[in-house]
A and B are shown apart, each in its own frame.
Chain A
Amino acid sequence: MRHEIEPGSLLPLPPATFHILIALAEEDRHGYAIIQEVAARTRGEVRLGAGTLYRSIQRMLEQGLIVEVRERPAPEQDDERRRYYRITTFGRDVAKAEARRLAQLVRLARASGLVAPQA
Chain B
Amino acid sequence: MRIYRALLRLYPSSFRGEYGEEMCAIFAERLRGKRGFFATIRLEIDALADILPTAFRSHMDLLRQDLRYTARTLTGAWGFTATAILVVALGIGATTAAFSITDHVLIRPLPFPRSQDLIALWENQPHRGISRMELSPGNFRDWKRLSTSFESMGACSTFSMNLVGTGSPERLDMAYVTWELFPTLGVAASVGRIFTAGDDSPGAAGTVVLSDRLWRSRFAADPNVLGHKVILNGDPYEVIGVMPGSFRYPERETQFWTPFRFAATAFTDRTDTYLSVVGRLQRGVSLASARAEMQVVAKEVERAHPKENARTGATVGRLHDELSRQSRLLLTVLFGASLGVLLISCTNLANLLLVRALGRRHEFAVRLALGAGRERVIRQLVTESLVIAVVGGALGVGLALAAGPLMVKLVPDALPIAQTPPVDLRLLGFAAFVTVATALAFGVLPAIRVCGEAASAGLQADARAGAGRRTEALRGALVIAEVAASVALLIGSGLLIRALWRLKDVDPGFRSDGVLALRTELPLPKYERTDLRVQFYDHVLSEVRGLPGVSGAGYVSALPMLWRGGIWPISLAGEPPDPADARMVSVRYVTPGYFMAMKIPLLAGRDVASTDTQKSPFVAVVSESFVRRWWPEENPIGRGFRVANDDRRVVGIAGEVRVRGLERESEPQVYLPAPQVADGDIIGYIPKDLVVRSSVAASTLLPSVRAIVGKADPQQPISDVRMVAEILEAETTPRSVQARILMGFAATALVLAGVGIHGLLAFGVSQRTREIGVRLALGAQSSEILSMVLRRGILLAAVGIAAGVTIAYGAGHAMKALLAGVSPADLATFAAAGAASLSMVILGCLFPALRAVRISPLTAIRSE
Contact = CB atoms under 8 A, between A and B. Distances in A.
B39 to A, nearest CB: 15
B27 interface: yes
Interface in B338-387: none
B26 A35 contact: yes
A78 to B, nearest CB: 12
A79 B29 CA distance: 12
Nearest to A57: B19
Contacts of A81: 21-22, 24-25
B57 A82 contact: no
A51 interface: yes
A55 B25 contact: no
B25 A32 contact: yes
B22 A55 contact: no
- Kindly name the residue among A30, A50, A52, A59 whose own CB sees the greatest number of chain B CB atoms within 10 A: A50
B25 A51 contact: no
Contacts, number: 58
Contact of B18 (A52, A58, A79, A82): A58
A83 B61 CA distance: 22
A50 B15 contact: no
A81 B11 CA distance: 19
B25 A58 contact: no
Contacts of B26: 31-32, 35, 50
Contacts of B50: 49-52
Contacts of B15: 54-55, 58
A49 B22 contact: no
Interface in A67-93: 79, 81-83
A74 B47 CA distance: 30
Contacts of A83: 22
Contacts of A82: 22, 25
Interface string A28-66: 001110010000000000000111101101110000000
A104 B833 CA distance: 79
Contact of A58 (B19, B21, B47, B55): B19
A55 B58 CA distance: 7
A55 B62 CA distance: 12
B54 A49 contact: yes
A49 B19 contact: no
Nearest to A55: B54
Nearest to B50: A49
A79 B25 contact: yes
Interface in B32-80: 46-47, 49-51, 53-55, 57-58, 61
A54 B23 contact: yes
A55 B29 CA distance: 19
A55 B11 CA distance: 10
Contacts of B58: 55, 58
Contacts of A30: 22
Nearest to B57: A55
B68 to A, nearest CB: 13
A60 B75 CA distance: 30
Contact of B46 (A35, A49, A54): A49
Contacts of B57: 55
Contacts of B49: 49
A51 B22 contact: no
Contacts of B11: 51
B54 A51 contact: yes
Q: Which interface residue of A49, A57, A58 has the most chain B CB atoms within 10 A? A: A49
Contacts of B21: 81
A58 B49 CA distance: 19
Nearest to A79: B25
B55 A51 contact: yes
A58 B62 CA distance: 12
A31 B22 contact: yes
Given A32-B29, A58-B15, A52 B22 contact: no
Task: Tell me which of B21, B25, B26, B47 has the highest count of chain A C-beta atoms within 10 A of its own C-beta.
Answer: B26
A57 B19 CA distance: 10
Nearest to A35: B26
Contacts of A51: 11, 23, 47, 50-51, 53-55
A50 B18 contact: no
Contacts of A49: 46-47, 49-51, 54
Nearest to B55: A51
A14 B19 CA distance: 20
Contacts of B47: 49-51
Contacts of A50: 22-23, 26-27, 47, 50
Nearest to A59: B61
Nearest to B49: A49
A54 to B, nearest CB: 4
A51 B24 CA distance: 11
A32 B53 CA distance: 20
A35 B21 CA distance: 16
Nearest to B4: A50
A57 B47 CA distance: 18
A35 B46 CA distance: 14
Contacts of A57: 19
A57 B24 CA distance: 16
A54 B27 CA distance: 13
Contact of A52 (B25, B54, B61): B54
A72 to B, nearest CB: 14
A56 to B, nearest CB: 9
A57 to B, nearest CB: 7
A101 to B, nearest CB: 24
Closest 4 pairs (CB-CB, A-B): A49-B50, A51-B54, A54-B19, A50-B23
Given A31-B19, A54-B23, A59-B61, 4 more contacts: A31-B22, A32-B29, A50-B27, A81-B21
24 contacts: A31-B25, A31-B26, A32-B22, A32-B25, A32-B26, A49-B50, A50-B22, A50-B23, A50-B26, A50-B47, A51-B53, A52-B50, A54-B19, A54-B22, A55-B15, A55-B57, A55-B58, A57-B19, A58-B18, A58-B19, A59-B61, A79-B25, A81-B24, A83-B22
